Amino acid sequence: MSATKKLGRKSPWPAIGTHGVLAFVTLLTMYPLLIVLRIALSPGDSGMTPSLNPVPHEFSLDNFIAVVTNTSAQGDWLFGRQLLNSVVISIATTVLGIFLATTAAYAFSRFRFPGRKAGLMAFLVSQMFPGVLMMVPLYLILEALGLLNASFGLVVVYATIAIPFCVWMLKGYFDTIPKDLEESAIMDGASQFTIFWRIILPLSMPAVAVTALFSFMTAWNEFVLAFTFMEEPKAFTLPVTVYSYVGEQSVEWGKFAAASIIVSIPIMVLFFALQKNLVGGLTAGGVKG
């Protein structure tokens, strides 16, 4: 391809080659999802065929209807209940996560205080704690706090899981904001909190958006803890139900595929809405050198 570079008029071949490679890789990436779409849109489990064709043989929304109308033996509308649980828990986690992470990251970025380095290190090291180790103690602690089987318990746990990554990312982003603005604000008599709330936060919206996305994803996608800490199906979040379709008792690929799509759509929408921020927020922040 480099040979064509010297010519004044551009040859179309490099562009075609690039698009060829990209289209191939994209197809490869999308293919599993197209298969899931086929399985979901075929009646029952009939989409689970050896065919490579991603278009369903026979089109049907039965799987989606079965998943959405899932009710318990007592006649409760389980899907609605679990969707509500997931939405409430995820939004609450996002709000709590942003609150905890932005305030902590602001202090780590702008103040020098004893314990700062240790605190930052502790956040980093906590990423290395294996989840299996924490499960039994976490269960005991939630039990002692009376938060077992309560949505609030999950919210608090999810928010703390999301904190370390978010704090590091936000701190990196805050570091890139010039201090001149704050200095002139202090001249005008602004308080420390005003600076945080009126200057730092509005300027860091890309990074805050990524934090929000990350917190939301942590809560929305998690199923091991939700499965362990929640006993009644009415208290489950959606991922627990998705997993149960391919659980040990039965394998219902059709329903699983339909439920997966329903669960993935909100995350994908958020990703697409925030993807510009994702590129900027992540690199200026958490992974700054």
Site for other proteins in 19-38 (CB under 8 A): 19, 21-22, 25-26, 29-33, 35-36
User: Is 55 a residue that touches other proteins (CB under 8 A)?
Assistant: no
Contacts of 184 (CB under 8 A, 6+ apart): none
| 160-179: contacts with other proteins (CB under 8 A) | 160, 163-165, 167-168, 171-172
Other Cβ atoms less than 10 A from the Cβ of 100: the count is: 18
In whole angstroms, give the CA distance from residue 152 to residue 154. Answer: 5
Give the closest residue to 107 by CA, choosing from 181, 161, 202, 175.
175
Among 9, 74, 75, 128, binds other proteins (CB under 8 A): 128
Identify which of residues 75 and 112 has a Cβ nearer to other proteins in the complex: 112
Among 64, 239, 255, 258, binds other proteins (CB under 8 A): 239
| 68-127: contacts with other proteins (CB under 8 A) | 99-101, 103-104, 106-108, 111, 113-120, 122-127
Single out the segment in contact with other proteins by CB under 8 A; choices: 68-76, 84-92, 133-141, 182-190. Answer: 133-141
Other Cβ atoms less than 10 A from the Cβ of 238: the count is: 24
| 136-165: contacts with other proteins (CB under 8 A) | 136-138, 140-141, 156-157, 159-160, 163-165
Among 64, 79, 174, 220, binds other proteins (CB under 8 A): 220
Q: Minimum distance from CB of 165 to other proteins (Å)?
A: 8
